[in-house]
């Protein structure tokens, strides 16, 4: 629809989908702007669009209107794995074609061809996605983005859940504050538990950024399909509540090297008056390309245990020796006697996995190089194929195969992506040869190529190359310390999970995660994709020699996280002996699925509480997880999502009466009762507590 536009506006277009309204304007100076409203209320006030290119420093003004295209799409597709069986993709698309005449003196003489820019908007029922596209054109071929100027001009001083805009990490704790109060300087400075921190703008934050307005509107800003482009961080203007795109720079300060035709990642704005709708949104997945992997039969979600938490808590070591120069007369490393990845110990985990129907076993510290793997900005750290002398790969892989257990390879790069790129084929051939079906990668440390950042264009491309290479070798991928995900798991369904946030591991080696942390993650980091959070810690205190160190949840909440923190790859992170000490509670981890036909967000409030019910893939069984932040809570849940007339048995794992994350985290009770679709289930959650319920057909 073409509107009567204000006198100064050159042109205005509007798209509406239910409560969401997008307005695009090209003003009299040829500057593109957009606005977003929800249910008649402004969400984004007039916000600028455009770029500074090294070829054209004002690629944000002087545009002329060339026309629009509109299209309505309403389809349903099926993910290879996921939270629901079917995903509806329903939007109206508006493509705006803009052009500017050639710049400089040559243009005056009319000899330079014009430059074109398309802006593609997709308006969904739950928000707006838009991307820029540089079409194939004679006037712009190879070019460099100096800055992207995209703005999100918020209508108020919203409550915001944020972490610092850091070029190298997403592993910060969340701060909840008003937009006008955002300042990351102190937090960055004191976060010495994070290996690499580069946050030059104290007013910049990461996406996904979650906000709540005073009127109760929930707004989430992120991006989708981040490929061949740096991550977008947001600079906050604390006076006007305007967020401006800040792209992570490369080693020489440029942002992106592009070659037209090129579409940028989508910028996403998810909006609802219900927090649950934000979590249920499929917009980011919908804005990604369908799977590029034809045969996906080899991709299978699973749970896993690992020779891992024992290293994180100091019980054993990744390294074989304590020092790289600690060698004996024959030149070999002198063992420290505490190496975790030894054959006997690995077999113990394989036995535990087999006995409890846990699909996989991860082993870290199996390959040489861990004596001085970190902090030296070394080019060549690991070769990914040389085991320590006490890790008998042949025996281990044969043993795992005989027990039907999948082994998960560990490739820590220490940030030396160049080294990994050189070794990658060799590493994946090694996995194929020995039968590893998955790999966990890691990027702890300053990046090589030196000067690059974890979230810059070069590394964004690296992570995708690893996913593609893994797919070629039929290996599933779990990346630690990559750029935060943007829905690419739709395109590369072998890329099952990422860390890219502050995981449970921070409870092992630092002061850990606050009780509200896991109620914020689904609204922030997980909006882009599944997280390998490593839940399931049962021994919540006393696992570390450091006084005061503990996990800031109850045991029942650790169970609930298997439902509330979605991942097709879920670790049962604690030690086998700690699970054996609580076999009754461990039953929930054994039973809980990792792939789902349906998901219902029953209640949600970021920073406060979250309750989700999910239906197991291919069955009629449901699993429910309820968590709370720092406050205790009583909630009554309607089980009306169950099939009418069907009887189910519910097993309820809940906080004991005296449970409290701080003083009594391991108190829980387990209760069984019959339920049906009429049942109202009341559960009490302790401070930092939770409840997990399996509801199986009787
Ligand atoms: C950090 C990862 O998040 C963790 O899971 C891993 O154990 C260490 N790096 C060592 O690779
Ligand atoms: Ca990490």
3-state secondary structure of 188: helix
How far does residue 178's CA lie from ligand 2's centre (Å)? 28
Residue 663 burial (C-beta neighbours within 10 Å; 0-12, 13-18, 19+): exposed
142: number of Cβ within 10 Å: 9
How far does residue 353's CA lie from ligand 2's centre (Å)? 24
Q: From the CA of 503, give the closest atom in ligand 1.
A: 3
How far does residue 230's CA lie from ligand 1's centre (Å)? 24
Q: What is the pLDDT of residues 45-72, one digit of tens each?
A: 999 999 999 999 999 999 999 999 999 9
Residue 430 contacts residue 386 (beta carbons within 8 Å) = no
Q: From the CA of 364, give the closest atom in ligand 1.
A: 7
H-helix or E-strand spanning residue 28: none
Q: What is the pLDDT of residues 95-126, one digit of tens each?
A: 999 999 865 444 444 556 899 999 999 999 99
Looking at the predicted structure, is the pLDDT value of residue 194 above 90? Answer: yes
Residue 345 backbone phi and psi in degrees, to 5: -65, -40
Looking at the predicted structure, is the pLDDT value of residue 389 above 60? Answer: yes
Q: What is the pLDDT of residues 407-440, one digit of tens each?
A: 999 999 999 999 999 999 999 999 999 999 999 9
Residue 26 contacts residue 13 (beta carbons within 8 Å) = no
CA distance 491 to 630: 37
Which residue owns the Cα nearest ligand 1 atom 7?
A: 308
Q: What's the confidence (pLDDT) of residue 7?
A: 46
Q: What is the pLDDT of residues 283-295, one digit of tens each?
A: 999 999 999 999 9
CA distance 574 to 240: 47
Choosing from 364, 454, 532 the residue with most ligand 1 atoms within 8 A of its CB, the one to mutate for a pocket test is: 364
Report which bound ligand comes closest to the CA of 442: 1
In order of 561, 604, 656, the CA distances from 625 in angstroms are 7, 12, 16
Looking at the predicted structure, is the pLDDT value of residue 613 above 60? Answer: yes
Q: From the CA of 311, give the closest atom in ligand 1.
A: 7
657 is catalytic: no
Q: What's the confidence (pLDDT) of residue 9?
A: 63
Look over the chain and give the mean of its residue pLDDT values, rounded to a whole number.
96
Q: What is the pLDDT of residues 523-554, one digit of tens each?
A: 999 999 999 999 999 999 999 989 889 999 99
How far does residue 581's CA lie from ligand 1's centre (Å)? 26
Residue 115 contacts residue 59 (beta carbons within 8 Å) = yes
Q: What's the confidence (pLDDT) of residue 113?
A: 82
Question: If you search the block for the tokens 């006007």, which residue do you land on?
Answer: 240
CA distance 412 to 480: 9
Share of the chain above pLDDT 90, in %: 95
Q: What is the pLDDT of residues 299-326, one digit of tens each?
A: 999 999 999 999 999 999 999 999 998 8
CA distance 437 to 209: 34
Peptide bond into 449 cis (omega under 30): yes
How far does residue 480's CA lie from ligand 1's centre (Å)? 7
Predicted model pTM: 0.97
Choosing from 193, 194, 414, 444 the residue with most ligand 1 atoms within 8 A of its CB, the one to mutate for a pocket test is: 444
Q: From the CA of 442, give the closest atom in ligand 1.
A: 11
Q: What's the confidence (pLDDT) of residue 109?
A: 47
How far does residue 213's CA lie from ligand 1's centre (Å)? 37
Which residue owns the Cα nearest ligand 1 atom 6?
A: 442
How far does residue 318's CA lie from ligand 2's centre (Å)? 15
Which residue owns the Cα nearest ligand 1 atom 11?
A: 412
116: number of Cβ within 10 Å: 21
Q: From the CA of 308, give the closest atom in ligand 1.
A: 7
Of 505, 516, 616, 687, which one is the catalytic site residue?
505
Q: From the CA of 410, give the closest atom in ligand 1.
A: 11
Report which bound ligand comes closest to the CA of 444: 1
Strands (E), 184-338: 204-205, 209-212, 218-224, 232-237, 242-247, 256-259, 262-263, 266-272, 302-307
Residue 209 contacts residue 220 (beta carbons within 8 Å) = yes
Looking at the predicted structure, is the pLDDT value of residue 441 above 90? Answer: yes
Which residue owns the Cα nearest ligand 1 atom 3?
A: 480
3-state secondary structure of 184: coil
Nearest-5° angle of CA 399, CA 403, CA 407? 65
401: number of Cβ within 10 Å: 14
Which residue owns the Cα nearest ligand 1 atom 2?
A: 480
Looking at the predicted structure, is the pLDDT value of residue 608 above 70? Answer: yes
Report which bound ligand comes closest to the CA of 168: 2
Report the pocket of ligand 1 as residue ranges, CB < 6 Å. 308, 364, 412, 442, 444, 480, 499, 505
Q: Chain-centre distance of CA 243, in angstroms?
A: 21
């Amino acid at each position: 629809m073409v509107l009567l536009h204000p006198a100064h506006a050159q042109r205005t277009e509007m798209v509406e989908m239910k409560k969401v309204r997008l307005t695009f304007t090209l003003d009299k100076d040829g500057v593109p702007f957009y606005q977003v409203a929800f249910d008649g209320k402004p969400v984004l006030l007039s916000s600028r669009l455009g770029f500074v290119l090294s070829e054209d420093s004002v690629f944000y003004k002087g545009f002329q209107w060339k026309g629009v295209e509109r299209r309505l799409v309403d389809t349903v597709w099926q993910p290879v794995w996921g939270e629901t069986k079917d995903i509806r993709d329903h939007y109206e698309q508006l493509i705006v074609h803009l052009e500017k005449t050639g710049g400089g003196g040559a243009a005056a003489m009319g000899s330079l061809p014009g430059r074109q820019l398309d802006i593609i908007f997709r308006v969904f029922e739950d928000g707006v996605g838009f991307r820029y596209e540089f079409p194939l054109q004679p006037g712009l071929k190879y070019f460099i983005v100096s800055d992207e100027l995209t703005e999100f001009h918020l209508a108020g001083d919203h409550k915001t859940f944020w972490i610092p805009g850091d070029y190298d990490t997403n592993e910060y704790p969340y701060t909840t504050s008003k937009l006008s109060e955002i300042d990351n300087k102190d937090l960055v400075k004191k976060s010495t538990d994070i290996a690499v921190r580069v946050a030059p703008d104290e007013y910049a934050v990461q996406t996904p950024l979650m906000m709540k307005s005073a009127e109760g509107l929930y707004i989430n800003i992120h991006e989708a399909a981040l490929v061949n482009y740096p991550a977008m961080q947001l600079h906050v203007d604390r006076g006007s509540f305007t967020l401006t795109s800040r792209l992570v720079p490369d080693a020489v300060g440029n942002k992106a090297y592009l070659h037209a035709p090129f579409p940028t990642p989508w910028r996403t704005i998810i909006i609802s008056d219900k927090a649950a709708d934000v979590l249920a949104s499929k917009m980011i997945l919908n804005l990604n390309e369908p799977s590029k992997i034809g045969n996906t039969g080899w991709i299978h979600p699973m749970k896993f245990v690992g020779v891992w938490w024992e290293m994180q808590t100091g019980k054993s070591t990744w390294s074989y020796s304590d020092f790289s120069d600690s060698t004996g007369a024959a030149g070999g490393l002198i063992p420290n006697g505490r190496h975790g990845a030894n054959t006997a110990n690995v077999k113990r985990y394989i036995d535990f996995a087999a006995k409890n129907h846990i699909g996989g076993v991860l082993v870290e510290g199996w390959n040489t190089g861990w004596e001085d793997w970190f902090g030296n900005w070394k080019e060549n750290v690991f070769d990914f194929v040389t085991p320590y002398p006490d890790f008998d790969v042949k025996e281990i892989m044969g043993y795992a195969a005989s027990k039907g257990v999948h082994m998960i390879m560990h490739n820590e790069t220490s940030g030396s992506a160049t080294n990994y790129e050189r070794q990658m084929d060799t590493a994946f051939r090694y996995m194929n040869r020995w039968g590893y079906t998955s790999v966990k990668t890691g990027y702890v440390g300053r990046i090589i190529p030196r000067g690059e950042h974890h979230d810059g264009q070069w590394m964004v491309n690296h992570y995708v190359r690893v996913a593609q290479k893994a797919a070629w070798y039929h290996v599933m991928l779990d990346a630690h310390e990559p750029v935060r995900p943007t829905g690419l798991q739709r395109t590369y369904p072998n890329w099952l999970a990422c860390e890219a946030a502050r995981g449970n591991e921070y409870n092992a080696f630092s002061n850990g995660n606050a009780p509200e942390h896991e109620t914020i993650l689904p609204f922030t980091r997980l909006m882009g994709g599944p997280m390998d959070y490593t839940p399931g810690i049962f021994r919540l205190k006393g696992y570390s020699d450091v006084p005061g160190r503990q996990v800031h949840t109850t045991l029942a909440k650790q169970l609930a996280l298997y439902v509330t923190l979605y991942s097709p790859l879920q670790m049962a992170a604690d030690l086998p002996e700690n699970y054996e000490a609580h076999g009754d509670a461990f039953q929930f981890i054994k039973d809980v699925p990792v792939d789902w036909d349906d998901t219902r967000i029953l209640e949600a409030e970021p920073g406060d509480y979250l309750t989700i019910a999910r239906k197991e893939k291919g069955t009629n069984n449901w699993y429910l997880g309820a968590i709370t932040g720092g406050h205790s809570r009583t909630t009554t849940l309607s089980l009306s999502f169950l099939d009418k007339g069907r009887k189910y048995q519910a097993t309820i794992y809940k906080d004991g009466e005296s449970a409290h994350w701080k003083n009594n985290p391991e108190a829980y009770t387990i209760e069984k009762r019959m339920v049906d679709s009429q049942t109202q289930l009341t559960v009490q959650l302790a401070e930092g507590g939770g409840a997990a319920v399996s509801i199986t057909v009787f």
